[in-house]
Structure 1
Amino acid sequence: MRSSSSRRRTPHTSHRKAAAVALVGVSALIAAAVQSGAATAAPEQAARPGAESVQLTPAQRAELIRAADAGKAATAKELGLGAQEALVVRDVVKDADGTVHTRYERTYAGLPVLGGDLVVDKAKSGATEGVVKATRATIKVASLTPTLAASKAEKQALTLAKAAGAEKADTNRAPRKVIWAANGTPVLAYETVVGGLQEDGTPNELHVVTDAATGEKLYEYQGVETGTGNTMYSGSVTLGTTQSGSTYNLTDGGRGGHRTYNLNRGTSGTGTLFSGADDVWGNGAASNTETAGADAHYGAALTWDYYKNVHGRSGIRGDGVAAYSRVHYGNAYVNAFWQDSCFCMTYGDGSGNTHPLTAIDVAGHEMTHGVTANTAGLNYSGESGGLNEATSDIFGTSVEFYAANSSDVGDYLIGEEIDINGDGSPLRYMDRPSQDGASRDAWYSGIGSIDVHYSSGPANHFFYLLSEGSGTKTINGVTYNSPTSDGLAVTGIGRDKAEKIWFRALTTKFTSTTNYAAARTGTLAAAGELYGTTSAEYTAVQNAWAGVAVGTRPGGGGGGGTSFENTADVSIPDNGAAVTSSVTVSGRTGNAPSNLQVGVDIVHTYIGDLQVQLVAPDGTAYTLKAYSTGGSTDNLSTTYTVNASSEVANGVWQLRVQDNAAQDTGYINSWKLTFP
């Protein structure tokens, strides 16, 4: 899928696509550890013994969900939710020390709240230790009666789908009333799902959210999550199959009953279950229809085993039930995709029907879309969409390494056997994503407006840096050369630890609206719980994110430094008066330096509305970001360099922020001064 939701606006005209995640801790320790985009966690935190998740049997998981469901009213009351709000249990993760992380959806007056999801962490004692919310906004709307007719919302959605390249677009679900809370002030809205086919033959499930009062499009995302790879024959492998009488079929009874079907060039339905008189599948050639089925079945088994044995997750939903695979989709279809509506992975046969897209890393990529959908639920658009794609690349790569298959050794290349470019190059590179000509190596303010397959670059790059470090390195015969945005070295901690940190963040810290700043926060919180905030692993997470221009290094750089930070939230009034956040600098001598570092982390749904200034102790103001600059993006997480050499260092310094246009809201999350 190639997203077409990028757009621009001038102030006052429309809402931005998605709000940043807001993380709220009940205890001071958790609050300090998971503040969105905060540069450091304070106070120091030792690794929490038993922080790793345990593998739950389906019965154990069901019991935890029943318990959470029985107590959801009490949980809602404890969280201070309104009388019309209710919680719906979606997922549960349990740690070895008894801590339970329960993921909830939210309703308001019985309507789904899009962007209202949250995760509640409870200790074994039952005490609430932390809460991660997709939105900090109070869920309340003035009226539940729409002004706009549902038929008009449906018509608008059809028009948008066709403009985005969908062919044979049709609405196969009636618009449903929802509360849209993923950015700005919650409003009554319609969600319309448009079906049909996209221009390349991929099924279309375009979700369009429309303001039920004004008709304004608030958000859109594609529900069919795609990734591209190529058949990479894995040699002679063992497959999980089932025998019925004298017939064998591709049903893996040892892995949740995973089945593999042959669509035989069709584009709808389940297809025909692969079956035969013997238990031998395919011959290694694409011309044999069983070969693609064998590859897909093998990749699904590897991915199941990886999640179960490495992360303790039994199946995509953690309930021991498998999804299913479909191969031979369409005619010369050069793609593969995950689809929530069928709970299945689907693979095309590639150009000329000679290169089925059933490689190990592709299977891992597609099944991981399912895991993401059933955990964080990262929206498939904007920065969260890039993180969604990166998560699939990260764990697709992890599955490939886990497989230890001599015919397909592990690497940090995505779809390396596909030759989709005709020159032997892979589809994506994790060590330096820009090698593909479109992906980005590092974060920048407009990254949320590009295709999610390319905005995934900074997270893929982060994972490589965290695993292997920067510079030149040869792994399994492949030489990598990974740079950093700040030109400073990163020392890796090994892929195994990097995987555990990302998985813990995905399942216990990320929400549907997580962006890059919040992904940094979530991975730091995960690293702090697993290894402690004074550990080499925690520092490596900070350095790896700084290496892709998300946040700063400890001390503000590689050479150290003294920092003064304020992590208290300060709400920014919509189109209102300026607000300030202060830090007191002491213990310095003389004037401030000519390269004073000002790290700013602001959560806001449209940063073009903001003016941001540094105010010195004598009242002199230095404009860091002017009004109407920064583009139509969410959040400001960057470091400015200010020549403050004319200012006395000691004293009260302020960050002053003013919102100069209506409709979008936010808050100062944290900021700090670093004296090199």
Structure 2
Amino acid sequence: MALAAVLLCGGAVALTAPAQAAGSPEDAAIARAQELIRLNPAAVRAADGDRYEVIRAAVTRTGSAHVRFNRLFQGLPVVGGDFVVHVAPDGALDGVSVSLDAPVAAATEPKVTAAQAVTTARDALRATEVGTPQLIVDGVGGTGRLAWRLPVTVATGEAEAVVDAVEPRVLRTQALEHTATGTGHSVYGGQVPLNTTQTIFDYKMIDPLRGNSKTCDMQHTTAGPCVTFADVNNIWGNGDPAHNQSAAVDVHYGSANTWDFYLNVLGRHGIFDDGVGTTSQVHRGVDWANASWSSTQKVMRYGDGSNGLRPLVSLDVVAHEMSHGVTQAVGGLIYSGESGGLNEGTSDILGTMAEFYANNAVDTPDYLLGEEIDIFGTGDPLRYMYQPSLDGISKDCWYNGIANLDPHFSSGVANHFFFLAAEGSGNTPYGASPTCNGSSVVGIGRDRATQIWYHALANYFTSDETFAEARADTLAATADLYGKCGSTYRTVAMAWAAVGVGTYSYPWKLCIPKWNLVWEEWPQPPILDPGPIKWITKVQEKGTLEVAEVAVNLTHPRRGDLRLELVSPAGRSYLLKAPDAKDRAADLADVYQVRLGGVAEAGEWTLVVEDVVKGEQSHLRGWSLLY
């Protein structure tokens, strides 16, 4: 059911919700979200003169709902004023994702005229073209100020400038074309199937199964026209970049695969979720060594690289650019600061997952970006998700000031997090992935990690998202999809801590019922000091599982003195926790993940606790093994 735009009045003006919501679950969610805004205006930073426009509503399998709103103030759009209302299954307010720090209180009469804004943007940015200014409230950074928004053309391409409407200065710019820059040497996917449209005379590179997505030829110009590729026998290209159709084959195949990934994995019907296909422009410019998504024209553009020998059309590049469009469509992440890194990281993450979805035998899936196009002429990729710093400039770990980096390099934090969440730390089939805090992370798999990232992007992220907010939002998305108690939630929290965003914490008390721990009655024999002591639990049935969970709760004045080990009925030993002289905290209540290699043995499993330092006494309160 199509959702029409709904305008709400904020501030002191009441919202009226229907007595009984009719229609779809999304309609009911919107009505409830409106009522919650009326009851909790401070939660959305409501101001007199606010209006809220419903963008969309999503209802999960658990009954929770997420309703996204845009904000207008005195009729002016508030950039960075978007928010998402989260509704619990019982209809209670489950939180609000909002970027504004305070209600908008900006004057709406500009002191800088539209003409002055044009001159300011042209002079400051050396813009060759400046479009018509639009008066807005700029809420980026948490506070609202009156500003002009202008489309500009600068040396690096299309961009958007924001000019202060109180004094003539450029507040910021953001690129409207998101690019992966490099060179390549061949077509990259081997022989692939293509969906085309047959006419009376020929076949067109128009995909009728995917919203009539088309691939067209810019004929080495930047202005066009872009002519849809045609062929008389429906056999396209020959694998040589010199053949006009070869690069088009990669793009048409790559966009179709990415469409299928979004549809079959994430339930999304095209970039804008409206079933309308994409337009892909091939052979743009002369020796243009770029690929981009144009957020103004809503098209993807691909150049042929230096001397036309290495077109930028590999599968991960196509999926990366198409994912920029999806990010724009679901609410946008401003392409600067930390949100810029999350924007670029989202394209790397979802583009890589589309590559895994394709599972092409020639361009095998991996966690490298742009390895096929060989940007440096050395065989090195553009980016390494398992250890981003291998490119010499991207960052593995968050630090205060990372927002000042180019988004292509600050994206390393998001890429590294996702890899750790999906595949885990240490040696993996895709590369060795270190952690920033020396921890060990056991991955939850690509499928779950993908669902979590997309759910957070679509239902929690706001345009001015920070890495700290992304941590909170992906944890909220994890709780929505997989609950708070279990290895999935824990891994997401651990993976963020492993890249320097937040610290690892787990809702131990909340999750105790899940493990059904048997608490020991005091007094119990203390843990030997020093020395090991064993406790036994019984597993009645065999199982098949990669990861088990060991929940442990014990007292000790200095838990860093303790070594924990799990021993299987067959005598296999799994180290849960090594001693750590730097850990001076008291007591231990945690859950450890154990890779079982697919086999859960029946019989008696043993927990071994060893105090390696003499002088302090401890007791085990309870422990449990859960498959």
Partner of 2:5: none
Secondary structure of the 2:253 match is helix
Question: After superposition, where does 1:218-617 map in structure 2 within 5 Å?
Answer: 218-228=171-181, 230=184, 232-269=187-224, 271-475=226-430, 480-554=431-505
- Contact 1:68-1:89 within 8 A present in 2 as well: no
- Deviations 1:116-135 (CA, angstroms, capped at 9, x unpaired): 11112346776654321122
Q: 2:132 is matched with which residue: 156, 174, 183?
A: 174
Q: Does 1:211 align with 2:172?
A: no
Secondary structure of the 1:554 match is coil
Per the TM alignment, residue 424 of structure 1 is displaced from its structure 2 partner at its CA by: 0.7
C-alpha distance in structure 1 between counterparts of 2:405 and 2:292, whole Å: 19
Partner of 1:198: 155
- Contact 1:118-1:131 within 8 A present in 2 as well: yes
C-alpha distance in structure 1 between counterparts of 2:357 and 2:372, whole Å: 18
Q: Does 1:106 align with 2:71?
A: yes
Corresponding letter in the other structure for 2:273: G
- Contact 2:237-2:244 within 8 A present in 1 as well: yes
Partner of 2:535: none
Per the TM alignment, residue 460 of structure 1 is displaced from its structure 2 partner at its CA by: 0.6
C-alpha distance in structure 2 between counterparts of 1:508 and 1:304, whole Å: 20
- Contact 1:76-1:87 within 8 A present in 2 as well: no
Secondary structure of the 1:398 match is helix
The higher relative CO (CA closer than 8 Å, separation ≥ 6) is in: 1
Distance change (3 Å), C-alpha of 1:427 and 1:185: closer
Partner of 1:140: 105
Per the normalisation by structure 2, the TM-score is 0.73
Per the TM alignment, residue 589 of structure 1 is displaced from its structure 2 partner at its CA by: 11
Per the TM alignment, residue 140 of structure 1 is displaced from its structure 2 partner at its CA by: 2.3
C-alpha distance in structure 1 between counterparts of 2:36 and 2:484, whole Å: 29
Per the TM alignment, residue 449 of structure 1 is displaced from its structure 2 partner at its CA by: 0.5
- Contact 1:430-1:464 within 8 A present in 2 as well: yes
- Deviations 1:554-607 (CA, angstroms, capped at 9, x unpaired): 379xxxxxxxxxxxxxxxxxxxxxxxxxxxxxx9999x999xxxxxxxxxxxxx
C-alpha distance in structure 2 between counterparts of 1:411 and 1:430, whole Å: 9
For structure 1, the 5+ residue unaligned runs are: 1-61, 557-586, 595-642, 650-676
Q: Does 1:77 align with 2:38?
A: yes
Corresponding letter in the other structure for 2:193: T
C-alpha distance in structure 2 between counterparts of 1:283 and 1:323, whole Å: 24
Distance change (3 Å), C-alpha of 1:159 and 1:416: same
Distance change (3 Å), C-alpha of 1:68 and 1:252: farther
Distance change (3 Å), C-alpha of 1:428 and 1:398: same
Per the normalisation by structure 1, the TM-score is 0.68
Per the TM alignment, residue 240 of structure 1 is displaced from its structure 2 partner at its CA by: 1.4
Per the TM alignment, residue 425 of structure 1 is displaced from its structure 2 partner at its CA by: 0.7
Distance change (3 Å), C-alpha of 1:272 and 1:130: same
- Deviations 1:432-467 (CA, angstroms, capped at 9, x unpaired): 111111111111111110111001011111111111
For structure 2, the 5+ residue unaligned runs are: 1-22, 508-553, 561-581, 587-627
C-alpha distance in structure 2 between counterparts of 1:75 and 1:273, whole Å: 49
Q: Percent identity?
A: 42
C-alpha distance in structure 2 between counterparts of 1:132 and 1:282, whole Å: 48
Corresponding letter in the other structure for 2:158: N
Distance change (3 Å), C-alpha of 1:330 and 1:92: farther
Per the TM alignment, residue 152 of structure 1 is displaced from its structure 2 partner at its CA by: 2.0
Per the TM alignment, residue 102 of structure 1 is displaced from its structure 2 partner at its CA by: 2.5
- Contact 1:113-1:179 within 8 A present in 2 as well: yes
Partner of 2:9: none
Partner of 2:124: 160
- Contact 1:69-1:88 within 8 A present in 2 as well: no
Q: Tell me whether 480-489 or 226-235 shows the greater mean CA deviation.
A: 226-235
- Contact 1:73-1:86 within 8 A present in 2 as well: no
Corresponding letter in the other structure for 2:271: I
Partner of 1:612: none
C-alpha distance in structure 2 between counterparts of 1:226 and 1:405, whole Å: 23
Per the TM alignment, residue 278 of structure 1 is displaced from its structure 2 partner at its CA by: 1.9
Corresponding letter in the other structure for 2:38: K
Partner of 1:633: none
C-alpha distance in structure 1 between counterparts of 2:30 and 2:303, whole Å: 40
Secondary structure of the 2:108 match is coil
- Contact 1:85-1:107 within 8 A present in 2 as well: yes
